[in-house]
Amino acid sequence: MTETLTINVGGMTCDGCSSNVSSALNSLASVSSADVSHVTGTAVITHSGATFEEIKLAIQKSGYLVDGESEPFNWTDGPVWRQSAHNTKWCLVGCSIGDFGTIAAFQFIPYFDALGWSTMSIMLLAMFNGIMTSIALETFILSAQMALNEAFRVAIGMSLISMISMEAAMNIVDVVLTGGAKLTLWVIVPMLVAGFLTPWPYNYWRLKKYGVACH
């Protein structure tokens, strides 16, 4: 017998989130259709004999909340590691634009070099600009899925802890390896590696525990 079940799903912020939940539900053999909306925060599921726990677990495993509850936390969820790596990658791209651009300006443009800023001042400005460009890039990416004002709201809701730790790791590596605020071809790779690896476990934890996912 076919039944319809409506479930409150938390953590969805865009069409991509709705699609993730829909795909997880439709992968269940007993589910014939799933109408998921991040706007209403609900999933309307048509199924034949599926249990609530089975449906709940499928949603939670995709990284979202059911009635405010997430899947019991663990560090072994491969899909969440991949999703958090994807999120971290885009954050790194955005942060690098502002960060590297700022360091390059003070290194190669005589006017900025003549200001005589200390290494610490340059690094702090680079971190700030990196966070700003990351938010701008995130807004641009999300604007393809939602209105611009909503995309900006989601973008500024990104974790500052993740972005600050990413920026700090990149700039610490730069200072340690070059002795100052400098860009060379050989230092860019270790800066990017450190910038990616430092916040990645935190982004996994945040995605796994709270279902925060936008891509």
Of the residues 45, 66, 87, the one at which a domain ends: 66
C-alpha span between 154 and 152 (Å, rounded):
5
Checking if the pLDDT of 215 tops 50, the result is: no
Tell me if 121 is assigned to some domain.
yes
Residue 68, C-beta contacts closer than 8 angstroms, at least 6 positions apart: 8, 10
> Do 149 and 176 fall within a single domain?
yes
Tell me if 17 is assigned to some domain.
yes
> Do 48 and 106 fall within a single domain?
no
Tell me if 183 is assigned to some domain.
yes
> Do 14 and 59 fall within a single domain?
yes
Tell me if 72 is assigned to some domain.
no
Residue ranges making up the domain that contains 124: 78-210
Tell me if 71 is assigned to some domain.
no
Tell me if 215 is assigned to some domain.
no
Poorest-pLDDT segment among 88-92, 113-117, 157-161: 157-161
Under the banding of pLDDT at 50, 70 and 90, the label for residue 214 is: very low
> Do 13 and 104 fall within a single domain?
no
Of the residues 21, 39, 66, the one at which a domain ends: 66
Mean pLDDT of 184-197: 97
Q: pLDDT by residue (tens digit) across 73-90?
A: 789 888 889 989 998 998
Tell me if 187 is assigned to some domain.
yes
Which range in 10-14, 111-115, 194-198 is most confidently predicted, on average pLDDT? 194-198
Mean pLDDT of 84-103: 94
With contact defined as beta carbons under 8 Å apart, do 174 and 182 qualify?
Answer: yes
124: buried, middle or exposed (CB in 10 Å: 19+, 13-18, 0-12)?
Answer: middle
Under the banding of pLDDT at 50, 70 and 90, the label for residue 212 is: low
Checking if the pLDDT of 98 tops 50, the result is: yes
> Do 26 and 103 fall within a single domain?
no
> Do 24 and 93 fall within a single domain?
no
> Do 59 and 94 fall within a single domain?
no
How many domains does one find in the chain? 2
Checking if the pLDDT of 147 tops 60, the result is: yes
Checking if the pLDDT of 187 tops 90, the result is: yes
Mean pLDDT of 2-17: 87
Under the banding of pLDDT at 50, 70 and 90, the label for residue 211 is: low
> Do 130 and 197 fall within a single domain?
yes
Instruction: Fill in the DSSP letter of residue 213.
Output: B
Q: Mean pLDDT of all residues in the chain?
A: 89
Residue 140 is predicted with a pLDDT of 87
- Alpha helices, H only, 14-77: 15-26, 52-61
Of the residues 66, 86, 104, the one at which a domain ends: 66
The CATH number covering residue 25 comes to 3.30.70.100
Q: pLDDT by residue (tens digit) across 19-75?
A: 889 999 999 989 999 999 999 999 999 998 888 889 998 998 887 888 877 777 789
C-alpha span between 129 and 38 (Å, rounded):
31
Residue 40 is predicted with a pLDDT of 92
> Do 150 and 200 fall within a single domain?
yes
C-alpha span between 36 and 34 (Å, rounded):
6
> Do 44 and 84 fall within a single domain?
no
With contact defined as beta carbons under 8 Å apart, do 10 and 65 qualify?
Answer: yes
Checking if the pLDDT of 180 tops 70, the result is: yes
Residue 110 is predicted with a pLDDT of 93
> Do 139 and 94 fall within a single domain?
yes
> Do 29 and 108 fall within a single domain?
no
